[in-house]
């Protein structure tokens, strides 16, 4: 499969058995997305390749053609209408059963829907609005929608990325149920633990080529990573503490009505302070309030021991506080603009004289950050939408580092990026902390939170419920604080 200047897939062979969970892994840009687009009818391959389905050669020209054959895809982002009921969402884009005079036969529609959910061992009120059910049940509804039309192949593309960690096991039970009833499952995830928990076989792609297919039980994490990136990553989490005694940021009794209350902490120069908690705990809102996205209901903030007032994002930037948001594509980048424009956007005044931008100075500054952050790109004029997730994240980092901040807030800095890019982001965090930058990192991945933080603060329902040094923190302690439950004498191995 070839795009202008890039060959996305080179002679890749892939097979899926009925009743199998087959994982597809590789770094961003390895060709995974292109392969599943071809399988699901969203992309035509170049001449020369062949796709065999149930013993016959097929050429899928549209997603509808794939659905008609029994091939369906469940993507990372929800493809549902929140104001419609579960039942109505099941039939989105599909014909409803009809009775006399062409009227909708709702009893038959209900009966078919109940049968599909029963196959998944799921009980759900079909009349509930989609907005009122949990993220996991929304994802399961998308699976049920595929089975409603007798899908025999279901493709999952990062299905847990938008789910709270504590809810992923419910989704896994449904995927295992698909395997039990004979559905072939293609599973894509950057979370390697999920691959070992779910998959029967795994196929590794790298640079558009197939590196190999193996039974999952024949590999370990390091072997899989080495196949993906072409080198071992034995030291992905290497924490180099650079925290000093100097307080860079102080927060006292910070409150945002309806989100969190009375949050107080110090952040030291060179420190990486982890902020943990379940989705909905208020952790992102704390960072967004400090960064000026929301105006605090009450509380005080100091920078370098000087009290400041933050009423807007511009106020926060002026005081040296910047936020790398969780949703980099919708909140951190202008996807149609090129790398240089994205990276210099908050700093344009440095390169402008009146309405004119000094392009040579702008591109020189962007080039420096592209080099120091090791952004893999064709040129500074490359649109950011064509970069991998890890390189897009580096552009967002560069954009805010160019403002020369004192405090950097990172919300899910490695969400949706591959293991190689994660290791590079961790190395960059260490480098930035070593230069004196104070960092707050929000993460839903407990290994990341434990390994990369000097200290960890944990929130539950908008209140601070735990504080741990890295040397004393464990996954068990973090989860007990995140759920605000008592630690009943059990212990876990400490992270050193």
- Whether 254 shows a pLDDT value over 70: the answer reads yes
Residues 306, 313: contact at Cβ < 8 Å?
Answer: no
Mean pLDDT for 396-407 is 92
- Does one domain contain both 205 and 62? yes
On whether residue 416 sits in a domain, the answer given is yes
Mean pLDDT for 9-36 is 85
| pLDDT confidence of residue 8 | 62
Highest-confidence range of 156-170, 209-223, 262-276, 444-458, by mean pLDDT? 262-276
Residue 277 sits in a domain of what CATH number? 3.40.50.300
- Does one domain contain both 172 and 266? no
Nearest CA among 434, 465, 484 for reference residue 265: 465
pTM of this prediction? 0.67
> Which among 198, 229, 260 is the end of a domain?
229
Per-residue pLDDT band for 2 (boundaries 50, 70, 90) equals very low
Mean pLDDT for 442-470 is 92
On whether residue 489 sits in a domain, the answer given is no
Question: Which tops the pLDDT comparison, 490 or 130?
Answer: 130
On whether residue 488 sits in a domain, the answer given is no
- Does one domain contain both 220 and 291? no
On whether residue 492 sits in a domain, the answer given is no
Tokens of 255: 């409150």
| pLDDT confidence of residue 233 | 57
Residues 229, 27: contact at Cβ < 8 Å?
Answer: yes
- Does one domain contain both 304 and 392? yes
- Whether 494 shows a pLDDT value over 70: the answer reads no
Per-residue pLDDT band for 495 (boundaries 50, 70, 90) equals very low
Tokens of 366: 């962007």
Highest-confidence range of 64-68, 74-78, 322-326, by mean pLDDT? 322-326
> Which among 173, 196, 229 is the end of a domain?
229
Q: Which of 198-202, 254-258, 356-360, 369-373 has the lowest mean pLDDT?
A: 356-360
Please give the residue range of the domain that contains residue 443: 247-483
| pLDDT confidence of residue 87 | 92
Can you tell me the distance from the alpha carbon of 445 to that of 119, in angstroms, rounded to the nearest whole number?
Answer: 32
- Does one domain contain both 441 and 374? yes
- Does one domain contain both 179 and 319? no
Can you tell me the distance from the alpha carbon of 295 to that of 466, in angstroms, rounded to the nearest whole number?
Answer: 25
Domain count of the chain?
2
On whether residue 193 sits in a domain, the answer given is yes
On whether residue 379 sits in a domain, the answer given is yes
Q: Which of 339-343, 406-410, 492-496 has the lowest mean pLDDT?
A: 492-496
User: For 266-282, how does the pLDDT look when each residue is reduced to its tens digit (9 = 90+)?
Assistant: 999 999 999 998 877 89
On whether residue 236 sits in a domain, the answer given is no
On whether residue 302 sits in a domain, the answer given is yes
Residues 31, 8: contact at Cβ < 8 Å?
Answer: yes
- Does one domain contain both 19 and 108? yes
DSSP-assigned beta bridge partners for residue 481: none
- Does one domain contain both 222 and 260? no
- Does one domain contain both 7 and 147? yes
> Which among 196, 229, 262 is the end of a domain?
229
- Does one domain contain both 212 and 258? no
User: For 376-395, how does the pLDDT look when each residue is reduced to its tens digit (9 = 90+)?
Assistant: 888 999 999 888 778 888 99
Can you tell me the distance from the alpha carbon of 432 to that of 146, in angstroms, rounded to the nearest whole number?
Answer: 46
Nearest CA among 285, 304, 317, 252 for reference residue 442: 285
- Does one domain contain both 116 and 264? no
DSSP-assigned beta bridge partners for residue 104: 98
| pLDDT confidence of residue 215 | 96
User: For 29-56, how does the pLDDT look when each residue is reduced to its tens digit (9 = 90+)?
Assistant: 678 888 888 888 887 777 777 889 988 8
Handedness of CA 169, 175, 179, 182 (dihedral sign): positive
In the 8-state DSSP scheme, what is residue 455?
E
Express as a percent the part of the chain with pLDDT over 70. 93
Q: How far is CA 409 from CA 317, 412, 420, in A?
A: 12, 10, 22
Average pLDDT of every residue of the chain: 86
- Does one domain contain both 211 and 277? no
């Amino acid at each position: 499969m070839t795009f202008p200047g890039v060959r996305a897939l080179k002679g890749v062979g892939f097979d899926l058995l009925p009743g199998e969970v087959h994982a597809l892994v590789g770094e961003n840009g390895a060709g995974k997305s292109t392969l599943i687009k071809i399988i699901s009818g969203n992309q035509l391959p170049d001449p020369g390749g062949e796709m065999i389905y149930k013993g016959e050669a097929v050429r899928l020209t549209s997603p509808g053609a794939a659905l008609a054959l029994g091939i369906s895809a469940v993507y990372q982002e929800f493809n549902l209408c929140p104001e419609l009921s579960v039942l109505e969402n099941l039939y989105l884009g599909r014909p409803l059963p009809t009775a006399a005079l062409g009227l909708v036969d709702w009893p038959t529609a209900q009966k078919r829907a109940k049968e599909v959910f029963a196959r998944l061992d799921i009980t759900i009120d079909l009349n509930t609005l989609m907005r009122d059910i949990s993220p996991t049940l929304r994802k399961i509804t998308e699976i049920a929608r595929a089975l409603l039309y007798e899908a025999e192949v279901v493709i999952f593309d990062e299905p847990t990325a938008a789910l709270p960690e504590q809810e992923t096991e419910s989704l896994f039970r449904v995927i295992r149920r698909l395997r039990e009833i004979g559905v072939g499952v293609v599973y894509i995830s950057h979370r390697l633990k999920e691959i070992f928990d779910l998959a029967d076989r795994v196929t590794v792609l790298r640079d558009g080529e197939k590196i190999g297919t193996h039974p999952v039980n024949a590999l370990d994490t390091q072997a899989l990573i080495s196949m993906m990136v072409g080198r071992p990553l034995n030291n992905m989490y290497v924490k180099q503490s650079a925290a000093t005694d100097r307080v860079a940021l102080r927060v006292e009794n910070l409150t945002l009505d309806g989100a969190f209350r009375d949050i107080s902490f110090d952040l030291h120069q060179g420190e990486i302070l982890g902020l943990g908690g379940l989705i909905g705990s208020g952790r992102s809102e704390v960072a967004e309030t400090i960064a000026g996205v929301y105006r605090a209901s009450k509380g005080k903030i100091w920078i370098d021991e000087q009290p400041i007032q933050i009423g807007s994002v511009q106020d926060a930037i002026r005081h040296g506080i910047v936020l790398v948001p969780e949703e980099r594509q919708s909140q951190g980048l202008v996807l149609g603009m090129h790398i240089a424009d994205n990276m210099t956007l908050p700093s344009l005044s440095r390169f402008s004289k009146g309405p004119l931008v000094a392009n040579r100075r702008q591109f020189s500054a962007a080039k420096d950050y592209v080099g120091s952050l090791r952004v893999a790109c064709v040129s500074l004029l490359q649109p950011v939408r064509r970069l991998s997730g890890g390189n897009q994240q580096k552009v967002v980092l560069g954009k805010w580092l160019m403002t020369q901040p004192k405090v950097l807030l990172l919300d899910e800095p490695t969400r949706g990026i591959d293991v190689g890019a994660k290791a590079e982001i961790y190395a960059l965090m260490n480098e930035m902390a070593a230069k004196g930058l104070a960092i707050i990192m929000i993460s839903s991945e407990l290994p990341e939170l434990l390994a990369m933080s000097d200290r960890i603060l944990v929130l539950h329902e908008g209140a601070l419920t735990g504080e741990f040094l890295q040397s004393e923190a464990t996954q068990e302690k973090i989860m007990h604080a995140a759920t605000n439950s008592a630690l009943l004498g059990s212990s876990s191995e400490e992270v050193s």
